Structure 1
Amino acid sequence: MPPRGKKPGLKRGRHNLPYWYANQVTRDPKGFPDTCIPLPPDANDELLAQLCHEHTARLRAHIAKVDAETAEPSLTKTRYDGTVKAACRIYQEHPLSKFHKVGHGTRKTYLVSIKLLELTVGARLIRNVTVLDVQHWYDEWRKGALTIDEDGNKEIGPERIDRAHDAVSMFRTVIYFMAALRHADCKVLAFELKQIKFEKGGAREQELTYQHVSSFIQTAISLGQKGIMPYDRALNMAIATAAQFEMMVRQKDIIGGWEPTRADRRMPAGITVLHHESETWTGFFTWEAIAGWRWRMKTSKSKYKAAADFDLTKYSLLMPLLEAVPAGVDRTGPIVKGEHGLPVRYRSFVKWFRQIAEVAGIPSDVQNMDARAGGATEAEEAGAALDQIQNALTHSKSSTTIRYIRRRNKKIADVADMRQQFRASEKPSS
């Protein structure tokens, strides 16, 4: 006699008569009308198997129809199949995901890590993933990139700690979100991931100093006057860099940002909005916002909650540059403009900064974003208290402010000198 699995639903009653029972196939037949069907008593095993499979197929079709009619509509195009890739896609598609609430720039950063996850571990089943696996992934992602030159020589670049840390952080975020959707396999892994930490890259040591900024301004104006670079571009780059350094604000606070236009996007109060084709620019640093040479704005670093008030006349590097902008049309809208009189775009800004910086002799590892740290470091060396610098940077935690203060090696040397001076003063007089 064939195994029972070949005749699903078969059960023999009194006198060994064969019956097909729906509850022998599933505990919940979901209203299937034919829960018990008598089978021919003289049927052989082959016919019984055929009839059982036919009735079982009708039952499963009925259950699928009921499930489709009663199920809530899916909120994502991707169906969860237990893999890392499916979880990443659902995190991007689900309307309640925080992926849709972060800024355009942050979302692009997220996508870099998500792409890495999908390419390297996307096929892994989450129920089989352990924290040991995640630690191994981190180690692999951290390795330096392998390059091969024309002669076939191989060279491994520096470790990519930030890349690995960002990927693990993104993986945590995805798993936590899937756990919130009550996927049991993700709940288990989410709990385990909370118990471990991964090394992240240290704070940058580079800074854009006062000497750098002064040289940058002089070089930019010179390039503009000689016609090597459009004068208005050179002046705008000088204004932007001076503003970042003098007021210790982020690059985004000065140049704003372009994003694809979204009807549901929320804007902070007081921000200027400019629409161009399918994109939208938002920013605070506009001519209309600095009437009377005072600029009051809510910084992006504080998520537009902490207000800062700047008296622009107090900044000796910035003020002459603002006054150099011709009156009239040039003093309307965004202060830092790019091509065609529109607000400058990030990529153009970074490219133009490096062009001027190279001529000005600024090291290649010093970036425009280091202006904020340079201003904070200068303030600390000028004698400003940590809480004063913290307020100027609109930080809520002093630990964050400390990361912006550079010249650690100089401070170590200064402490050593002070200790030597103290010892000399303590020596008994002869």
Structure 2
Amino acid sequence: MIRTDRPGYLSRNRKAGRAHYWSPQRAIKGAPPTFKIKRLPDDLTDEEIAEECQRLTNELRAKIGNPHAPAVEYNGTIDSLIELFRTDPTSSFHTVKHSTRVRDYGPSLRIISKNVGKRRVDKLQASDFRRWYSEWRTRGHRRAAGIIKLLRLILTYGAGERLPGCKDARDILSGMRFEQPPARRVAMTYDQCRAIVLKSAEMGHPSVGFVEALKFESALRRIDVIGEWAPDGDGPFRWRGLTVGQISKDHILTITTSKTGAAVSRDLSLYPLVQLALESYTIPEVGPVVIDENTGKPYWENRYTTKFRAVREAAGVPAHVWSMDTRAGAVTETVNATGSLDSGRDLATHTTVRMTAKYNRGDGLENSRVIALARAEKRGKAAE
């Protein structure tokens, strides 16, 4: 049976698996050749591929009908506001990293559209937001909080563009407070990271052990280690990230971090876990530092997380320890070792100590021991 819910869809078999594309000429017969084929993110589900193909086709149909008109017109519904937010190049949707749009914005926008997309913005009341939040919380507390945060952004965009109903809805939502999920308290430990390094080598995936070791020792973000595949404007996906040229012959890594733009240098020769990982993982002579053993190319984020989970499970590390917790482990160990949040801030390149405190997930036991001994020593001297 020929599917009609994925206009313009194409797929091609690649070494790493099936790649998905959307073709303007396949979506609409006679579409000008100036509209190029777009590759779709690899981690979309079948339902999400259909939604994306339909969205791109609707945009194309509007552009062909009137090349100077916006891809979508605001008709007062949340759905039309979402489409404007996604397609307007001046919206904040286009100021975040591609991975954020795919991993965070995409799923939340689909939930909003599916659940309340047909609602008129100018009819929204506080009771609507409270009810939606309660319903979304059944999907997870963090997910619900993230959707509300994104809804604030969308309505703020609409208010800024003077779209009817958006300012009133934004003002209502701005005055509301929702219970936030508790701060994450999980941090990967040295022993857990070491187990992952050893097991990844045993499983033939030493790149995973190298990535986690480098993150744990240096507190670099994962995107700064494995890089990122992102579309080059409207063109094909291109990779950007850490390359061999950023590591000197004496193992000094130099990088400008993706989030804060901080200039960072790290001496890899002083990192025991990195040296252990390098017994199994060989850094290429040129090009990207981290290569997926299965494809011979840099990792797509979803493929890395899938492989990480397999290694973590085989290594006996609990499932509640995520790859993102490696960086928290680096900060926690640093603060415990030095007793200084400032040291943790410098290692993690945070702009404030307040942010470092969120990543410091220790229970304060070691610091309390140091304080107790210091106080006891002072009492002893005073009694002499």
Question: Could you tell me the TM-score, scaled by structure 2's length?
Answer: 0.74
Q: Output aligned runs, 1:239-258, within 5 Å.
A: 239-258=210-229
Aligned to 2:6: none
Query: 1:298 offset after TM fit, Å?
Result: 1.3
Closer/same/farther in 2, CA of residues 220 and 77 from structure 1, 3 Å limit: closer
| In structure 1, distance between residues paired with 2:158 and 2:209 | 47
Query: 1:386 offset after TM fit, Å?
Result: 1.0
| In structure 2, distance between residues paired with 1:85 and 1:188 | 17
Closer/same/farther in 2, CA of residues 188 and 326 from structure 1, 3 Å limit: closer
Q: Is the 8 A contact 2:255 2:264 kept in 1?
A: yes
Q: Is the 8 A contact 1:296 1:309 kept in 2?
A: yes
User: Residue 155 of structure 2 is aligned with which of 164, 170, 175?
Assistant: 175
* 2:337 aligned with 1:382: yes
Aligned to 1:204: 184
* 2:163 aligned with 1:187: no
Letter in 2 for 1:134: F
Q: Output aligned runs, 1:356-395, within 5 Å.
A: 356-395=311-350
Q: Output aligned runs, 1:7-406, within 5 Å.
A: 75-108=69-102, 109-142=104-137, 144-145=138-139, 160-221=140-201, 223=202, 229-230=203-204, 234-262=205-233, 278-284=236-242, 286-292=243-249, 293-302=251-260, 305-322=261-278, 325=281, 330-338=284-292, 339-406=294-361
| In structure 2, distance between residues paired with 1:295 and 1:214 | 21
Q: Is the 8 A contact 2:74 2:80 kept in 1?
A: yes
Relative contact order (C-alpha < 8 Å, sep 6+): which is higher? 2
Q: Is the 8 A contact 1:298 1:307 kept in 2?
A: yes
* CA offsets 1:80-106 (integer angstroms, 9 cap, x no match): 221111111111122321212321111
* CA offsets 1:113-137 (integer angstroms, 9 cap, x no match): 1111111111222111122321221
Query: 1:244 offset after TM fit, Å?
Result: 0.5
Closer/same/farther in 2, CA of residues 359 and 202 from structure 1, 3 Å limit: same
Closer/same/farther in 2, CA of residues 111 and 358 from structure 1, 3 Å limit: closer
Closer/same/farther in 2, CA of residues 409 and 396 from structure 1, 3 Å limit: closer
Closer/same/farther in 2, CA of residues 347 and 362 from structure 1, 3 Å limit: same
Q: How many residues align?
A: 314
Closer/same/farther in 2, CA of residues 183 and 346 from structure 1, 3 Å limit: closer
| In structure 2, distance between residues paired with 1:300 and 1:201 | 26
Percent identical among aligned pairs is 29
Query: 1:200 offset after TM fit, Å?
Result: 2.4
* CA offsets 1:318-355 (integer angstroms, 9 cap, x no match): 1353365558xx32211211133211222222222222
- Structure 2: state its 5+ residue gaps: 1-65
* CA offsets 1:56-94 (integer angstroms, 9 cap, x no match): xxxxxxxxxxxxxxxx98652322221111111111122
Query: 1:418 offset after TM fit, Å?
Result: 4.2
Closer/same/farther in 2, CA of residues 194 and 325 from structure 1, 3 Å limit: closer
Larger Rg: 1
Closer/same/farther in 2, CA of residues 395 and 348 from structure 1, 3 Å limit: same
Letter in 1 for 2:274: L
| In structure 2, distance between residues paired with 1:117 and 1:74 | 29
- Structure 1: state its 5+ residue gaps: 1-71, 146-159, 224-228, 265-277
Aligned to 1:35: none
Query: 1:112 offset after TM fit, Å?
Result: 1.2
Closer/same/farther in 2, CA of residues 127 and 392 from structure 1, 3 Å limit: same
Tell me the SS of whatever aligns to 1:396.
Answer: coil
Give the superposed CA RMSD: 3.0
Question: Could you tell me the TM-score, scaled by structure 1's length?
Answer: 0.66
| In structure 2, distance between residues paired with 1:187 and 1:379 | 46
